Structure 1
Amino acid sequence: MNIAPSPNPSSDTDSSALADAWKYSLEAAGPAASSVLAGLAEGHAAELAAHFYKIMMNDARASRSMSHDQVRVRLQPAMQRWVRDLLRASTADVEQLIANQRVIGDVHARVGIPVDLVTRGTRVLKQRLFQLIGEHAGHSETAHAAIASLTASFDIALEGMTLAYSNARERSSRTDAAYRLFSLVQNVSTERERQRALLLDWENTLLYALAAQGDMGGFQTLARSEFGLWFNHKGIPSFGESSETRQISALINEVDQLLQHTLQQESDPAVRTARLQDVRSKVSQVRSLLGMLFERIGELDAGCDALTNLLNRRFLPTVLRREIELAEKSSGSFGVLLLDLDHFKAINDTHGHEAGDRALQHVAGILSQFTRGSDYVFRYGGEEFVVVLVAVEARQAMVIADGLCRRMAETPVVLADGQLLEISASIGVALYDGHPDYERVMARADAAMYQAKKQGRNRVVLGSDALPAAPGRNALRRD
């Protein structure tokens, strides 16, 4: 269903050179040294994997990216396999081993594991293995050959990982830069006026609440307002980090602190009025800085689906990485909806491709109209759509998904001849679970959508790790 990344020609050339070097070192080791390493693979892989993650988890950067349960249940067994594969490697295994290192490097880049942590881990593994070789083979020529072969295998594997890591990070950086240029604001003037209106509406609501001398306890903070959510989840990544975006973030925080510590606790009307002027002054500064940022944005079409005018999947990894970062900072969550139109092939076969295009545009309109301005709507490919719901928990995500599913079923498509075409969609919902790899949340949404299809279509299913994986799923394309 999804498209895997196409190979990079320069990477293939580099991989070929690594493979030649690896084969040469294995041939030079000889059978006796290979036998020593294979014996260590059988007897010490578990110990070595545990040692590796003990070193890794002592670093705060690693512990932020992975939990002890993840290490015990999933990562440590994978590391055991990696150690065994390298220690038992033969020349016939080398091409597959090189490919495996490239996959590992891609995952490290996607999750954000620093290269120096991986380098440190492999260094301590080699040191431990040198000790074990000495215990098993002493200082013989076989021991020296085993150490030379081991060093070459680990260094070449690490080089292959690092090459893939660098390429993946470079692709991500290019996409992130394009994303900022595109800015997710297809119509600058319309979006600028919309955000100004939202900011003004929040300010007017505040004035009304203060004038009524009511309890401010239930008043929505500026950060949690529709404008605040838009700015944090779309504005900052769209405009890019700058002194203006940092100033706006600081002003929003100052406004909310004033509301929390002064306006909610102060009953003297004169003091409340004075503090209100402080709030209005800061909101005015936000409005001015926002205008400056919008003036810098041009209307770029790259990254926009031509048929539906939604985002295409190019920027989905960028958005998901950003939402994971925000969720980690705030201890919050976000949701992903994966929608697939039901019986879409039958629509094209029965009514023609023009009707299919109308159906896609119709669904895009519903998704855009009935999601919040801070959310993201993508045409994922074919008849599939993705909605990223920012700052939501499971219950809220399910309410939104059920509403979208119902609206599509209740709102037929009007064809060119006036005929009404009923449509429906199967929707998989997945919530961010704290794992730093965005592929995990996408895989759960995909599995849930597949279950919605199996259960009869026109329904919503909440994803979980207990659901079987959807057949045929590949990784997100990383342009």
Structure 2
Amino acid sequence: MSPPRSQTQTRAETQVQTRPAPRPLPPPDDPRLLEDWRRRLDAVPEEVRTLLAEVVAAGGPALADHFYGDMLEDPRASRYLNVDQVRERLKPSLQRWLAELLSAGADGVEALHATQEHVGHVHARIGIPVDLVSRGARRLKDDLHAGIRQRAGSEGLALEAILCADGLVDIALESMTRAYSRSRDAAGQVDGAFRLFSLIQNIGTERERQRALLLTWENALLYALTSDAPGPAAPLQLSRSEFGLWFLHKGMASFGDTAETREVNLIAARMDSTLRARLPEATTAAARRELLDELRAGADAIRSLVTMMFDGIGDLESGRDALTRLLNRRFLPTILRREIALQANTGRQFAVLMLDLDHFKSINDTHGHEAGDRALKHVAALLVENTRGSDYLFRYGGEEFVVVLGSVSLDDAIAIAEGLRNAIASSPVVLADGTSLPLTASIGVAVQDGHPDYERVLARADAAMYQAKRGGRDRVVVDDGGLPDPPGVRALRG
């Protein structure tokens, strides 16, 4: 085995090679938002800008006290906020946010918008009710009004400053809420996909069953329209068939509101309408044959769409890593959100283990990628064998794995992590030529500390795992809240 390069260099390279680049946030779907924001900032007179800066500088601590004091009185806030967190981090952050918002020039709109987007996405990850934020913004504006009136030299200046401050707070809140909505919608889609992934055990069988039911409807239609007395249209409608009922009650719930499901509904409704309108007038065999051909063309279109939708469910196998058969990172946010909610409701702690195979690049370089694949599958099997049925196992990327341990203490989490480390170290992988290749892993452990943002516990586990690498590998390190950030990972400070 070739000698490894420096630990820091190898780790940084591994992150670049194996971790997907973060996807850029989509631009706002209404460019008028930034245009309006830029216009408002351009129109702020210098004396108003100066007055607002004085109000924030003099009253910032009191503004933050009132904002969070009012919010903390809501019983729901206890899940997202605590007194220490508010005092040490959130109040200073709010004062900085307000100062930046009210002092920015028109050339700072993009940065302002990016900040609101970030805040909105964090609020969505945490699940903080949007009305709490709106209520806080309303209280914030009331306090700003009072400070402006106290410091303005004239009613005219006070009115102009109040209108300016209200407009800037409102547009920031709009930007924040748009990001919040996008994140919640995306999370809901993934959560729904996970439910479907969990419930559908044999996608191929279900797909063929529904295709067969659609064919059964076609055969019944064929039999009716080629007979001398086809009967009334109602029993022949696709919406009344077994396939139609399945699609209405289960298919739509499973596939969701997509372009494909809307198209199926549109085609089916058009087919039923055509059948009702034309069957009574189709008194000849030729007319009925023409009607049959048109309806079967619609059924063909529906069959193609249904196949596409089931293939999309098949893509949920992308939720399961093709090589190791563990879950991949797609469903990790869903699981962590559920564990955070469970902890909030029951007090049950959970922990995250971040596991990285040591010297994995050397395995690929020395023995080839087939050996690397064998090593990954071997480790995945060991994770399955040495964890509980209630634990979630993910291939996080490249040679990294994540284990989510539910209902554990810190001692439990450390014991499981040490068991995994020992199992890997004592079980070499056998290569295709019969060679036994020893493996070791570095594992970081982080127990959820009650913070509602799941990315924090991931970042803490990652920092601990990096420390295990730096400390010599083949070891378990527990995050104590004071570890430095790993290379390439931005600590979440929001």
TM-score, normalised via structure 2 length: 0.71
User: Aligned partners of 2:105, 2:79: CA distance in 1, in Å?
Assistant: 36
Deviation at 1:158, TM superposition (A): 0.1
**Alignment match of 2:165 (pick from 134, 140, 150):** 150
Instruction: Say how many residue pairs are matched.
Output: 367
Corresponding letter in the other structure for 1:310 = L
**Does 2:139 match 1:98?**
no
SS, match of residue 145 in structure 1:
helix
User: Aligned partners of 1:113, 1:149: CA distance in 2, in Å?
Assistant: 28
Match of 2:268 in 1: none
Deviation at 1:351, TM superposition (A): 0.5
Corresponding letter in the other structure for 1:94 = V
**Residues 4 and 80 of structure 1: is their aligned pair in 2 closer, same or farther, counting only changes over 3 Å?**
farther
Q: Judge conservation of contact 1:133–1:147 (CA < 8 Å) in 2.
A: yes
Match of 2:23 in 1: 6
User: Aligned partners of 1:153, 1:89: CA distance in 2, in Å?
Assistant: 10
**Alignment match of 1:38 (pick from 53, 66, 73):** 53
SS, match of residue 335 in structure 1:
strand
User: Aligned partners of 1:122, 1:3: CA distance in 2, in Å?
Assistant: 36
Match of 2:271 in 1: none
User: Aligned partners of 1:5, 1:461: CA distance in 2, in Å?
Assistant: 26
21-30 or 133-142: which moved more? 133-142
Match of 2:413 in 1: 397
Deviation at 1:309, TM superposition (A): 0.5
Match of 1:417 in 2: 433
Aligned counterparts, 1:182-261, within 5 A: 182-183=197-198
Structure 2: which 5+ runs fail to align?
1-14, 204-252, 255-312
Alignment RMSD, CA only? 2.1
**Does 2:479 match 1:463?**
yes
Match of 2:90 in 1: 75
Match of 1:454 in 2: 470
**Does 2:185 match 1:170?**
yes
User: Aligned partners of 1:186, 1:406: CA distance in 2, in Å?
Assistant: 34
User: Aligned partners of 2:202, 2:491: CA distance in 1, in Å?
Assistant: 31
User: Aligned partners of 2:349, 2:129: CA distance in 1, in Å?
Assistant: 24
Match of 2:450 in 1: 434
Deviation at 1:7, TM superposition (A): 3.3
SS, match of residue 317 in structure 2:
coil
**Residues 474 and 182 of structure 1: is their aligned pair in 2 closer, same or farther, counting only changes over 3 Å?**
farther
Deviation at 1:420, TM superposition (A): 0.8
Q: Judge conservation of contact 1:182–1:302 (CA < 8 Å) in 2.
A: no
**Does 2:78 match 1:63?**
yes
**Residues 382 and 328 of structure 1: is their aligned pair in 2 closer, same or farther, counting only changes over 3 Å?**
same
**Does 2:104 match 1:89?**
yes
The structure with more radius of gyration: 2
User: Aligned partners of 2:201, 2:153: CA distance in 1, in Å?
Assistant: 68
**Alignment match of 1:327 (pick from 328, 343, 352):** 343
Corresponding letter in the other structure for 1:325 = A
Q: Judge conservation of contact 2:485–2:491 (CA < 8 Å) in 1.
A: no
Deviation at 1:145, TM superposition (A): 2.1
Corresponding letter in the other structure for 2:81 = M
Aligned counterparts, 1:274-353, within 5 A: 301-353=317-369
TM-score, normalised via structure 1 length: 0.73
User: Aligned partners of 1:187, 1:454: CA distance in 2, in Å?
Assistant: 44
Match of 2:308 in 1: none
Structure 1: which 5+ runs fail to align?
189-238, 241-297
SS, match of residue 332 in structure 1:
coil
**Residues 184 and 458 of structure 1: is their aligned pair in 2 closer, same or farther, counting only changes over 3 Å?**
farther
Q: Judge conservation of contact 2:318–2:328 (CA < 8 Å) in 1.
A: no
